[in-house]
């Protein structure tokens, strides 16, 4: 009987330790300028190129990128930089003129300066 109780206590202890090591996932909404389905594919691909991004879905209607990321591996700023590198502006990070000009004509949105 003592062995069973001891075994149960060990199992509960290991389970509690394993749960304490879960990654810190967080949800964010980031406004990203774009126009169409080609933009959607490009923006999501850029977001997923950042290690630690678990989910990235860009909505063409409200131009919002919904992110779930592991904050121990990356930040929203890392994702914004990756998205800007493929030509899309965010509130905090603007794409370079050269990166913006590489976009297909239907993807070139009106830039606010």
Burial environment of residue 41 by CB neighbours within 10 A (0 to 12, 13 to 18, 19 or more): exposed
Mean pLDDT of 46-73: 97
Cβ of 79: how many Cβ atoms within 10 Å? 27
Q: Are 93 and 84 in contact (CB under 8 A)?
A: yes
Rounded CA gap, 95 and 113, in Å? 12
Task: Answer whether residue 95 shows pLDDT above 90.
Answer: yes
Mean pLDDT of 29-56: 97
Domain spans of the chain? 24-107
21-41 pLDDT per residue, tens = 455 899 999 999 999 999 999
CATH, range 24-107? 3.30.70.100
């Amino acid at each position: 009987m003592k062995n069973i109780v001891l075994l149960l206590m060990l199992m509960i202890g290991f389970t509690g330790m394993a749960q304490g090591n879960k990654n810190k996932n967080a949800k964010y909404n980031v406004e990203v300028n774009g126009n169409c389905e080609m933009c959607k594919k490009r923006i999501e691909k850029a977001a997923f190129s950042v290690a630690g991004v678990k989910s990235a879905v860009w909505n063409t209607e409200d131009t919002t990128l919904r992110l779930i990321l592991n904050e121990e591996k990356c930040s929203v700023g890392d994702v914004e930089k990756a998205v800007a590198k493929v030509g899309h502006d965010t509130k905090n990070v603007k794409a370079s003129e050269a990166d913006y000009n590489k976009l297909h004509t239907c993807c070139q949105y009106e830039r606010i300066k």
